[in-house]
Structure 1
Amino acid sequence: MTRRAAMKASVACVALAMAAAPAFGQDKPPERKALRVCQDPNNLPFSNTGGEGFENRIAEVFGKALGLPVTYYSFPQRMAFIRNTLRYKLPGADYPCDIVMSVPVGFDQVSVTKPYYHSTYAMVFPRGKGLDGVASSDDFLRLDPAKLASLRIGIYDRSPASEWLSRHGLLERGVPYKMLNADPEQYPGEIIEKDLAAGKIDVAIVWGPIAGFFAQRVKNPVLSVVPMKSEPGIKLDYQMAMGVRYGEREWKQQVESLIESRQAEIQAILKNYGVPVVDDSYAAPGK
């Protein structure tokens, strides 16, 4: 074969490969008999086995729109949640679930949809205890130094809240709680529903949906929720989306269509659960 003929053959092979690639890349979705959701079994306000979380409620909205029953595959959302749910597959078996109802935008273990809500970390504290004038984190930092020095501030370790306390010289006021707890009965809202309500701590700084939901559930004392703005170097706000497996392009597009068409119902559910939904002004300047 001449050099010219070899080059032509090489180009032809590349062209054939490129033409064939889309065929292998097509992700024809299987016929769905149910909307199969990956969930944590004890993680209110997000989900639980009783179907009481806002993720459960949104999944029911989606199931109704698709004309499908909703089923759940539960695994504690501690370490390796995605590996043990969305990407879990035994030889010869099907995946047990097809969608994770809440992941932060930018999460790289799944194919992330468009966002459906934007929230932020929030302070929670009882009314009538000297903090009633606090309507922002700046107001909190302007409190009398003696008052600040007296506060016990509950935070989850290794969370943005601990970074925020450190930034503002308040780390010694922090009361740390374990981010990952092996006890399956433990749930994130205990910091509010048990310890804050009982007066063991004076303030809790937690992820907004947890703050809003459990502040609603505690009737005595009445609790205030103050959303916090991100600061340069400390991200407190996150846009939340849904996650599907990589390669399932058509399924992702279908989920995004549901997010768009059912937006009013989604926002009503979030409001009912007390989720503090924020706008872009809560992001750090320049973000």
Structure 2
Amino acid sequence: MNNTRSIFTLALALAGAAACLPVTAQDADKPPARQALRVCQDPNNLPFSNVEGAGIENRIAEVFGKALGLPVQYYSFPQRLAFIRNTLRYKLPGQDYPCDIVMGVPVGYDQVSVTKPYYRSTYALVFPQGQGLDQVKTGDDFLKLDPARLGKLRIGVYDRSPASDWLNLHRLVDRGVPYPIMNADPQQYPGEIIEKDLAAGKIDAAIVWGPIAGYFAQRVKSPRLTVVPLKSEPGVRFDYEMAMGVRYGEREWKQKIEGLIDSQQAAIQAILKDYGVPLVDESFAYKEPGKDKPAMK
């Protein structure tokens, strides 16, 4: 009896010790509770983000912060070369990461762990009303303009973009007015092509990423501007699904963000609409040559 009791007591002691060890290790590996929603952002990149918190992604971050019961904090770095390395993946010895989420990345972007998408947009053609282009409702309409008219247009595009590829595909390169996609000036912002040059008549039309087109076309009051979403076509991809990005290996955090994308979808869509983002469906999607289905991203 005493021997049985001793074995039983030892078994309980070993079981208790074994139970304690994993809990201790788990507690040691478990990240501390989040004290804020820490967002990686560009400080001067409207309509997406800026230091005043006036961008699409700022507004969505505030919605997420409220849902999580956390304040929103921003870590700013110009979104040019090495943005992810200098924000989401930036970590000095003995210090924490400065931010935990990028609010806008294209699906398929391999520098981060990409969430489910929360909207699809496309490049858009922007032009002033009342100057001979009002009949243009699609990209095909634009290409069917009278050659004499088309041959005189000055079309602003960012270099090395789908817009420049489209001009090349349709033999309109000589009508293009190129703008550098990378600019060392921290005060430069992507909407200048519309808000400054198109509005001032320095160019006759512009082809830019949809959120930029919609937002800055709204801001220009004179002349009134028309925004025409462009469909992808063989050889040129205009449409992209946009998602959010977190660090690889942070599975639970990614799941939480995807849960917020689902639960806050109505608020997200309202924000996108407020900023004039042209939202498109799969009929705009790029299809790989020889395939009927949209290309995987």
Task: Return the TM-score normalized by structure 2.
Answer: 0.87
Structure 1 runs of 4+ aligned residues shifted over 6 Å read none
Shift of 1:232: 1.2
| 121, 128, 131: which one aligns with 2:130 | 128
For structure 1, the residue ranges without an aligned partner over 5 or more in a row are 1-19
Map 1:143-182 to 2 at 5 A.
143-182=145-184
- Cα distance in 1, alignment partners of residues 167 and 117 from structure 2: 28
- Cα distance in 2, alignment partners of residues 169 and 28 from structure 1: 57
Q: Which residue of 1 aligns with 2:262?
A: 260
1:46-93 CA-partner distances (Å, limit 9, x unpaired): 000000001000000000000000000000000000000000000100
Partner amino acid, structure 2, of 1:191: I
Answer whether contact 1:136 1:226 (CA < 8 A) is retained. Answer: yes
Partner amino acid, structure 1, of 2:55: G
Shift of 1:283: 1.0
Q: Which residue of 2 aligns with 1:278?
A: 280
- Cα distance in 1, alignment partners of residues 216 and 201 from structure 2: 15
Partner amino acid, structure 1, of 2:257: V
- Cα distance in 1, alignment partners of residues 230 and 139 from structure 2: 6
Q: Which residue of 2 aligns with 1:10?
A: none
- Cα distance in 1, alignment partners of residues 123 and 261 from structure 2: 23
> How many pairs align?
265
**Identical aligned pairs, as a percentage?**
77
1:111-153 CA-partner distances (Å, limit 9, x unpaired): 0000000000000000001000000000000000001000000
Could you say if the C-alpha distance between residues 142 and 96 of structure 1 is closer, same or farther in structure 2, counting changes exceeding 3 Å? same
Q: Which residue of 1 aligns with 2:7?
A: none
Q: Cα RMSD (Å) of the superposition?
A: 1.5
Q: Which residue of 2 aligns with 1:246?
A: 248
- Cα distance in 2, alignment partners of residues 48 and 54 from structure 1: 10
For structure 2, the residue ranges without an aligned partner over 5 or more in a row are 1-21
Answer whether contact 1:86 1:95 (CA < 8 A) is retained. Answer: yes
Shift of 1:33: 0.1
SS of 1:259's equivalent in the other structure is: helix
Answer whether contact 1:28 1:250 (CA < 8 A) is retained. Answer: no
1:222-259 CA-partner distances (Å, limit 9, x unpaired): 00000000011211000000000000000000000000
Answer whether contact 1:34 1:70 (CA < 8 A) is retained. Answer: yes
Shift of 1:284: 2.6
Q: Which residue of 2 aligns with 1:220?
A: 222
Answer whether contact 1:208 1:276 (CA < 8 A) is retained. Answer: yes
Query: Quick check: 1:197 aligned with 2:199?
Result: yes
| 178, 184, 187: which one aligns with 1:185 | 187
SS of 2:187's equivalent in the other structure is: coil
Structure number with greater Rg is 2
Map 1:98-117 to 2 at 5 A.
98-117=100-119
Q: Which residue of 2 aligns with 1:97?
A: 99
- Cα distance in 1, alignment partners of residues 282 and 144 from structure 2: 24
